[in-house]
Structure 1
């Protein structure tokens, strides 16, 4: 086992996530390194990119990557939540996500108000009704109902959280298209994107495991399983297959090729991260080591809300909202000064 401190690990994570001295070359490079950008809140995804991309990012530049250049794709991915992924990586993500089978369980079907036959008919119909031309949620629902003759599917197909659409995304049958006014649209990725090469599921899981450990490591198979929403047995098999490429570090495993970076000296970093920032989201699996004090509930709140966070040297030392930072511990004068310099207009609550 390699001996490193958690302070070293957290500072290494900051650097690996383009929050330290190095920025990502572009939005695609950042999305790839982070395992996707959480996009439940579009503004948070833009802010997360702006912090990490050379030259910054705007809502307009992100839209251009999504709908103009089509180098990013918006879909349901890790943990079944909305993410922006590199378009070139989508076949790999789909190969790994297609191992999910929750939609075939009786409890899931009952909760969604559909039968196994109806769900199977929806999955079979979508490749015939959805192509490269964007369709609104209502248009897609109409087309599926016409194809399946299941008139009672309208409500589950059009509900805002898209629960019936997520299994389609996991199979690579749909992703988001450009919005039409205030309406979201969907397209078939294999027709929307320039190319698509199918990937073996084990190879895909191994690729995503290495990428995850190279950004959020060290971690255990169970932690990777929870972060991705992968069956625990499949995560354990991936770690076993990758054994000679990994090294044991306190708290889990990480890629052997990157271990030498962990102990490098790095300057103090003081960051204000947006809601749902990938750094904060991934940190919740090890909150006892990353969040200062007994404050996890202030960071990971009810209904899956992840608060904007004050991060000092990789440790979550507070939360912030509307320009006011609420620290979990008294802040050193140097940290307060760094906040004032780096984030003009921000105040610190007493």
Structure 2
């Protein structure tokens, strides 16, 4: 079977309730956890961007709803997800995520010889982190003291390059402790982040990895092993082996995917929309759709590749989607309840598209619990501003 880029893109948008016509075929997500599950994690290095990502996929969801799910109801967990970056993940799916992420092979050690840890030291530190955080919420400095006390002075050696400082040796496995289910974020203490033990037992990788591949292909397929490896920051050869095993079991099937060539979908999941995709959407920094959709050059065509990416990396700029592809960038600046939104289209927008854009800006304001003012013109700030 052949799947076109346009069909795959429309299906991906519809399954995350970002398709302009999605309301006619499916109900928007009523709970933050459902929206996060559909996009396979919300990038949360900047929590406000994650709040907007979730709200855009929901039915009347606001940033308060996301914060309540995260810190009060605990249906969301803030921890280290794909690519070792901070994500919101559904609490119910944490055993699956930690089981799968723990099974991903690590690449070459990027640290100099004097900073590295032995495999036994890595295990000792992960155990110490989990023990120290059980029933506690600690800042990074408090956690460091506990880890060194439980392991030895070597763990506290200042050999890790950090932000204008040197960090203790044990910090190089902070994200690994998250992947093992021993660490997650707790509410901030003032302006300081804190961590806790979420009490998660990872599922065996033999079951968790196939489940994650299936969810990835449902959300972002058709996709190749190389696409999956890039999304997960995993070795390409390993990813190809995982896909081959799933194909042999009959869990996934091959389709022809335009110029991308052979790609994979969940077995039997070959229906794609026929109607052309129309409409306008705004997506924030590091939105999961912009990160995971492949081939990336089809989502960022022409001038969008230079304007909306940073060295080929998606997420550096919030993006404007027109008819399902990136067609500009945007920026928001908040002052109290006022949210000044500047949108820079790469081509002039028609009157109908401008009205769609105004509706989208109002929706952003509602999710972020503010009042928006729209300016259509150049975005003068750089990435991550």
Query: Match of 1:193?
Result: none
Note the C-alpha offset of 1:130. 2.3
> Residue 168 of structure 1 is aligned with which of 174, 177, 195?
177
Q: Is residue 317 from structure 1 mapped to residue 327 from structure 2 by the alignment? A: yes
Distance 1:67 1:314, change over 3 A: same
The answer as to whether partners of 2:290 and 2:314 remain within 8 angstroms in 1 is: no
Corresponding residue SS for 2:270? helix
Query: Match of 2:196?
Result: 187
Kindly provide the CA deviation profile for residues 238-283 of structure 1, in whole angstroms up to 9, marking residues without a partner as x: 32233223331414212244322x1343662210111111111123
The answer as to whether partners of 2:281 and 2:321 remain within 8 angstroms in 1 is: yes
> Residue 99 of structure 1 is aligned with which of 98, 103, 123?
103
Unaligned 5+ segments in structure 2 are: 333-340, 363-372, 379-385
The answer as to whether partners of 1:141 and 1:157 remain within 8 angstroms in 2 is: no
Unaligned 5+ segments in structure 1 are: 191-195
Partners in 2 of 1:132 and 1:212 — Cα distance?
33
Q: Is residue 308 from structure 1 mapped to residue 318 from structure 2 by the alignment? A: yes
Distance 1:61 1:325, change over 3 A: same
The answer as to whether partners of 1:80 and 1:166 remain within 8 angstroms in 2 is: yes
The answer as to whether partners of 2:301 and 2:326 remain within 8 angstroms in 1 is: yes
Partners in 2 of 1:15 and 1:174 — Cα distance?
33
Provide TM-score, normalisation by structure 1. 0.87
Q: Is residue 258 from structure 1 mapped to residue 269 from structure 2 by the alignment? A: yes
Partners in 1 of 2:242 and 2:180 — Cα distance?
20
Superposition pairs for residues 11-26 of structure 1, below 5 Å? Answer: 11-20=10-19, 21=22, 22-26=27-31
The answer as to whether partners of 1:141 and 1:158 remain within 8 angstroms in 2 is: no
Distance 1:112 1:27, change over 3 A: farther
> Residue 284 of structure 2 is aligned with which of 274, 280, 284?
274
Query: How many residues in Structure 1 have an aligned counterpart in Structure 2?
Result: 339
Distance 1:61 1:342, change over 3 A: closer
Note the C-alpha offset of 1:169. 1.1
Q: Is residue 113 from structure 1 mapped to residue 87 from structure 2 by the alignment? A: no
The answer as to whether partners of 2:183 and 2:197 remain within 8 angstroms in 1 is: yes
Q: Is residue 343 from structure 1 mapped to residue 361 from structure 2 by the alignment? A: yes
Query: Match of 1:46?
Result: 51
Kindly provide the CA deviation profile for residues 11-59 of structure 1, in whole angstroms up to 9, marking residues without a partner as x: 211111121224112111111111111101110011111111112121x
Query: Match of 2:73?
Result: 69
Q: Is residue 232 from structure 1 mapped to residue 243 from structure 2 by the alignment? A: no
Query: Match of 1:4?
Result: 3
Partners in 2 of 1:145 and 1:158 — Cα distance?
18
Provide TM-score, normalisation by structure 2. 0.80
Note the C-alpha offset of 1:108. 2.8
Partners in 2 of 1:4 and 1:332 — Cα distance?
30
Kindly provide the CA deviation profile for residues 101-150 of structure 1, in whole angstroms up to 9, marking residues without a partner as x: 538x5x43428924326544323422332202211111110011111221
Corresponding residue SS for 2:173? coil
RMSD of aligned Cα (Å): 2.7
Kindly provide the CA deviation profile for residues 146-178 of structure 1, in whole angstroms up to 9, marking residues without a partner as x: 112216626468956964311111222211112
Corresponding residue SS for 1:316? strand
More helix by share: 1
Q: Is residue 245 from structure 1 mapped to residue 251 from structure 2 by the alignment? A: yes
The answer as to whether partners of 1:75 and 1:169 remain within 8 angstroms in 2 is: yes
